[in-house]
Structure 1
Amino acid sequence: MLREATAISNLEPPLTASYVESPLDAAIRQAKDRLLSLQHLEGYWVFELEADCTIPAEYILMMHFMDEIDAALQAKIANYLRSHQSADGSYPLFRGGAGDISCTVKVYYALKLAGDSIDAPHMKKAREWILAQGGAARSNVFTRIMLAMFEQIPWRGIPFIPVEIMLLPKWFPFHLDKVSYWSRTVMVPLFILCSHKVTARNPSRIHVRELFTVDPQKERHYFDHVKTPLGKAILALERFGRMLEPLIPKAVRKKATQKAFDWFTARLNGVDGLGAIFPAMVNAYEALDFLGVPPDDERRRLARESIDRLLVFQGDSVYCQPCVSPIWDTALTSLTLQEVARHTADLRLDAALSKGLKWLASKQIDKDAPGDWRVNRAGLEGGGWAFQFGNDYYPDVDDSAVVAHALLGSEDPSFDDNLRRAANWIAGMQSRNGGFGAFDADNTYYYLNSIPFADHGALLDPPTADVSARCAMFLARWVNRQPELRPVLERTIDYLRREQEADGSWFGRWGTNYIYGTWSVLLAYEAAGVPNDDPSVRRAVAWLKSIQREDGGWGEDNFSYHDPSYRGRFHTSTAFQTGFALIALMAAGEAGSPEVQAGVDYLLRQQRPDGFWNDECFTAPGFPRVFYLKYHGYDKFFPLWALARYRNERYALA
């Protein structure tokens, strides 16, 4: 980095007493210095990852399920929950969104468990809103499972998910290998809890019968959400299976329970937790308790520690993250700082980058590590990276591509082995249609989204344009060293062309939304050498320009996941999405356009005195339409990346 910066130092004005720093250079310097100050001693960056109020509410529910109540902690989580209630009394899935009945039911129950009176104004408003939606019986499957375990609804109000699923052969229409990694890790301990009808300890015997419009025992419409013919047929089979459940031999149930126990305990993942995601961790912790694993057992102790590590303390307020994102944050921060370093002679920056990249290289999952990911269609030896600090069973294709791209950008030959292994593994994870999913190849058993359990529509991990684009971005720069992978790249580019929307945009599965998807693909096109006059590129550029707001920025909220006509619209401008749009336009050769200049001006106006930007909105879906996230790092590095690239494009034109 320092060598390149020194070679172009003649482009920078001398630092003399008469030198006046330009607003652009000052903005880049301030954001860079602030970002560098947040690097951890080990070399990584990690920012908060905030979800809706479901997760902190579930933490309180877990404490009462287990009768392990920390009153002081509970009070702080309750403070967080109360502060996020909407004016109509509901709780939304993302800031500014419509109220969600399942989230609101869980928060109401959690606050009641924490001691809030049902006559308190905030509780009364929440209850009235829930009842206006049809009551708690209309909540989703996961919420109804919680209500069944707290003895608020009968077990017939939840899907039949017997633990004997563990014994099904791979050819069976439903098998663990046919669903996503997050579904597997959540479901396996849940099979145990539901099959054995485990009930919460609930020491205060707190109920929420006031949230039902019909007595839960008399309710006959728990599955009214099942509408399709296939779904109704599966529901009929499920009800038939529930009738036969008493006939299951005890030895078979015992064998299936043991297999489920062995499966999830093998994947407990130390202090990082089962699947490194909160819902799976909690299910595992509760299942360990039910199966008699004592509190002082190392597995149970670490299972609880993994959950508590997700807590974020903010004075009198505490919330729980769904997971953590250090690999993702460090990789994207590294790419941002590499862009900054192209025209900056800065020893501190160089040292920080080197340390961060070495930390990333050290986190590559060893080829011999146990994991569900080892099946590789290409038969190539390799290894990827997880999203979290540790998740060896489930490396993330998206993270692996971004990390590899950053390592390759360093031009450090010591990373060559990491890069070759990453390229081999990514190539082997390509789906048959040329695209890439986040964790699995060809995870496209769409009929499974019709089962009653899958009312969230997030059971699968199919290929998506954004993940595929980042794989192409890395492979395009790598294939000259490994030419045998060129067909993989070509199939990916063909897939991306097919995935382009009619208006020129691309859907963003893991970031909000069409702006994010379009940014992803245009960067991939640039790396792959797709010319700027290619019709696909021109349509994308025209779309991005058409949705620029009057203030020069870009903005899109999560409503576009619910109604595609909202794509790129109906939100105030945000710094992180303006960064996406600017980088995308510059990747398409638009650095000199007035739209890019206006976007840069917007970022310069919006920068805060501390060097960062502040976007209050949620930035990404965990699962479109049902679960959203706020990556607290996005408004810190994406605007800086865009400004640095703009400066570098100006130098290139000079």
Structure 2
Amino acid sequence: MWKLKIAEGGNAWLRTLNNHVGRQVWEFDPELGSPEELAKIEKARENFHNHRFEKKHSADLLMRLQFAKENPGVRVLPQVKVKDTEDVTEDIVTNTLRRALSYHSTLQAHDGHWPGDYGGPMFLMPGLVITLSITGALNAVLLEEHKKEMCRYIYNHQNRDGGWGLHIEGPSTMFGSVLNYVTLRLLGEGANDGRGANDGRGAMERGRSWILEHGGATALTSWGKMWLSVLGAFEWSGNNPLPPEIWLLPYILPFHPGFCAFVHFFMKF
């Protein structure tokens, strides 16, 4: 079972200047969890998968299940419904404020910060997986359980049309689709793996079809072509040249690479 470790070290890959305060790391422990707890987690996962198109954010369900076990004495007060014809009394307002405080207290970690899932961008994990792959460190750094959860995440955020977006709520793009399809293959998924849809096609087949039907990987943006070239799946000659000297220009200029990437990212949200 996975456990969220708060403000803890014990990992050779982690460095700290503040004793890991505010750091949250998921760690897999095969000996952790009773059959009832494991069943509850699987139920939450299945429920999220079945409603992934209506509610695309995880709502930190696994973390909340863990915190509920670690803080059994913290209770969220019952909700009070006020009808339009009723007066809002001081007691109702007080109860609402107390309920809000008790609710947020159940989500606070022992070191004082409020952990939260950094869900959204669909182009960060592909870079990690591609880098680990070309350096030969994929299997050294990632456990099989890591790979399984990465695949689960990518599959859960595949759009109805088979593609992937720039972020979990975005429409399918060539950038998101190619990078996430390639990531799944590097993580060990086969060409016909993934749950089937109503049309009988598996997730991988639907993803591949979306890519081919929209022009193929040659329709990628420069950033995506760069990652494929690093992987050895795309010729470097197919990339648009980017003179390194423009990185020396003032960051505020609209054609500075860093500025462009910053604006492009946040305009998507």
Instruction: Return the TM-score normalized by structure 1.
Output: 0.24
Partner of 1:147: 228
Match of 2:136 among 59, 63, 67: 67
2:65 is matched with none
1:472-509 C-alpha deviation (Å, 9 max, x unpaired): xxxxxxxxxxxxxxxxxxxxxxxxxxxxxxxxxxxxxx
User: Given that residues 166 and 175 in structure 2 are in contact (C-alpha distance below 8 angstroms), is that contact kept between their aligned partners in structure 1?
Assistant: no
Among 204, 207, 210, the residue aligned to 1:123: 204
2:95 paired with 1:26? yes
1:624 aligns with 2:259: no
**How big is each residue's C-alpha offset from its partner over 1:69-108, in whole Å with a ceiling of 9 and x where there is no partner?**
2241122211111121111101123444311111110110
The CA distance in 2 between the partners of 1:178 and 1:146, in whole Å, is 26
Bigger share in helix: 1
1:57 to 114, 119, 126: 126
Corresponding residue for 1:160?
Answer: 241
Q: Are 1:87 and 2:180 matched, yes or no?
A: no
Give the aligned partner of residue 178 of structure 1. Answer: 250
Q: State the Cα distance separating 1:155 from its structure 2 match.
A: 1.0
State the number of aligned residues: 169
RMSD (Å) for aligned C-alpha atoms: 2.8
Which runs of at least 4 in structure 1 moved beyond 6 Å after TM superposition?
Answer: none
Do the aligned partners of residues 622 and 42 (structure 1) sit closer, same or farther apart at CA in structure 2, a change above 3 Å counting? farther
Corresponding residue of 1:137: 218
Partners of 1:53 and 1:107 within 8 A in 2: yes
CA–CA distance in 1 between the matches of 2:122 and 2:188?
Answer: 18
Shift of 1:151: 1.5
CA contact (8 A) 1:57 1:81 kept: no
Structure 1 residue matching 2:98: 3-state secondary structure? helix
* C-alpha distance in structure 2 between counterparts of 1:95 and 1:21, whole Å: 41
User: How do 1:503-518 and structure 2 match up within 5 A?
Assistant: none
1:458 partner amino acid: A
Structural mapping, 1:428-577, within 5 Å: 443=252, 445-446=253-254, 448=255, 457-458=260-261
* Same amino acid, percent of matched pairs: 20
Give the drift of 1:175. Answer: 4.0
CA pair 40-96 structure 1, distance change in 2 beyond 3 A: closer
Task: Give per-residue Cα distances to partners, 1:230-256, cap 9 Å, x unaligned.
Answer: xxxxxxxxxxxxxxxxxxxxxxxxxxx
Conserved 8 A contact 2:122-2:167: no
- Conserved 8 A contact 1:60-1:74: no
**How far apart are 1:29 and its partner, in Å?**
1.3
Matched residues in 2 for 1:23 and 1:89: separation? 47
C-alpha change, 1:96 and 1:43, in structure 2 (3 Å) is: closer
Q: Distance in 1 between matches of 2:117 and 2:184?
A: 24
| Distance in 2 between residues matched to 1:175 and 1:92, nearest whole Å | 28
CA separation of 1:97 and 1:22: change in aligned 2, threshold 3 A: farther
Indicate the residue corresponding to 2:181 in structure 1: 108
The amino acid of 2:261's aligned partner reads A
Gaps of 5+ in 1: 1-19, 166-173, 180-442, 461-620, 629-654
Q: Deviations over 1:334-363 (max 9, x none)?
A: xxxxxxxxxxxxxxxxxxxxxxxxxxxxxx
Selected match of 1:35 from 104, 111, 129: 104
Q: Cα–Cα, structure 1 residues 119 and 36, in superposed 2: closer, same or farther, change >3 Å?
A: closer
Deviations 1:377-405 (A, max 9, x none): xxxxxxxxxxxxxxxxxxxxxxxxxxxxx
Q: Which residue of 2 aligns with 1:98?
A: 171
CA distance in structure 2 between the partners assigned to 1:115 and 1:30 by the alignment: 46
Query: Hey, what does 2:113 align to over in structure 1?
Result: 44
- Structural mapping, 1:255-654, within 5 Å: 443=252, 445-446=253-254, 448=255, 457-458=260-261, 622-625=265-268, 628=269
Aligned position for 1:369? none
TM-score normalized with structure 2 length: 0.55
Q: Shift in Å at residue 31 of structure 1? A: 1.4
Q: Deviations over 1:118-167 (max 9, x none)?
A: 1331111111111121111111111110111112221122233465x3xx
Q: 1:58, CA displacement in angstroms? A: 2.8
> CA shift at 1:59, angstroms?
2.7
